[in-house]
Structure 1
Amino acid sequence: MPEHASRKLSLPVLLLYIVAFSLAIICIVPILWMVVTSLKPEGSVIGEIGRRFLPPFTFENYQYIFESAPIVRWTMNSLFVSMVVPILSLINASLAAYALSKINFSYKKIVFWVILSGMMLPGEATIVSLYMVANGLDILDSYYALILPALAGPLGVVIIRQFYDGIPNELVDAAKIDGCGLFKTWWNIFLPLSKPVMAALFIFSFLGTWNDFLWPFLSIQTEELYTLPIGIPFFMSSYNQDETLPMTVNAYASVPIIIVFIFFQKYIVKGITFTGIKG
């Protein structure tokens, strides 16, 4: 047996494992609860925890939500918006960060602090003015209303700018000598080097857009344009206390999030690291 395998775990390491496993269980139990409830026949859910995890189970609830509402259309809307918003917002944020990091212009620091101050305001504080602007532009109840307001997030600009500050200025000077303009320098040098941070921010933007409820709920009235978060209340009735259908549609809506987390968790960890970078 290898020497390192025969060593006993120290008390701090053992406590760390216990805390980690405890947190993992705390995170897994709600997901398991949701899935089991979604598989119970409608009207059969009971309050006793032990009996909730016992048969019978059925997939009829999933069949019902597809037959009673345009779930596939709502899913396509969510996927479309959740892909377009991260792509466009990251391009916008990357260009702004490049200008703030490597281009000298008047009042650059003031512009950066104005962008940074946007992180101090919760989205709910600007929702009324945002609605008025969208109404004035006549983009309510359209894909433009779901996409355009999300393109001006300050977090991506701040994080990417911090990353670009770490790229040596000598690369910019060498690109100028080779005849590259500002855009070509950004495209050929800065954009390829920023793939890790861009991937992490893309995932965070995707998850945030997929789960967004308040703004789509206020800006969309046509059922065909619903995203999944605002379509879910369709299955919740104040006259019916049964929880199987809401849990079913929530379980269905959680599948893409779980898939993204499983396959891209290393980028999520990188994203948490990048958000902690000191300027």
Structure 2
Amino acid sequence: MDTAHKLEQHRVWLETNGKNGELFTLIGADLSQVDFRFANVSGAKLSGANLSFANLSFATLSVADLREANLSLATLSIADLREADLSGSNLTGSNLSGSDLREANLSGSDLREANLSFSNLTGSNLSLAYLEGAKLKGANLSAANLSKAYLKGANFKGANLKGANLSEANLYGSDLREADLSIANLSGADLGIANLSGANLSSANLSGADLSVAYLHRSNFTGTNLSGAYLKGANLKEVNLSFANLSFANLVGAKLSGAFVQNTIFRSNSGISELLKQDLIDRGAIFENA
């Protein structure tokens, strides 16, 4: 297979808007270990292709069809993958650091142990994707769809998840330190033993979320919907809960000393002792009848 010739024909195809040359099409082909560095393969059809161990750093694959492709352990650092269709693809252990994945479709893809640090995933679709142990430090995931994604143990430290959809996502044991989760949808999410230290969750939806044994030191829950959330035994010391809604939340044994509770809504049967209840009222909390 003369890959260089095919790439040259694709270049001509792009430059002439399809009048000359030929679209790069290698559906189901074995392209493992091929060097695509700096190549422009935008719009290429590579569904089902084997690109494991391939080097695609600095390559342009915008709007490319990579459905169910094997990109395990591939190098895609600083690659242009805008609007690419990577649904159902295998990207385990791949290096996507600094890549542009805006509006890309990664639904159902396997990104376990992948490196997506500082990548741009704005508006991307990662619903039902597997990202266990993935590195997303400093990544931009604003308005991304991560609903029902498996994110156990993933590193989101300092990531931008503003307005992201994380409903019913598994974030058990994930690192979300200093992440921006403002106005994000985390309803029904599993955040057990997750590290949310210094995270911004203002105006987020965490209704029905499980925050058991989560680390919440100095996190911001201003105006957050925590109704029905599981916070049994949670350490909420120094946490900003102002204007938050904790009605129907399970707060049995929760530590709330030093928490900011101005206009925070609680339910009288939330598991809070009468002594703590009065202290919270004195600090501006609102208790509604059950």
Q: Which of the five TM-score ranges fits, normalised by the shorter chain?
A: under 0.3
Q: Structure with the greater relative contact order (CA < 8 A, sep ≥ 6): 1 or 2?
A: 1
State the TM-score, normalizing by the size of structure 1. 0.20
TM-score (normalised: structure 2): 0.20
The structure richer in helix per residue is 1
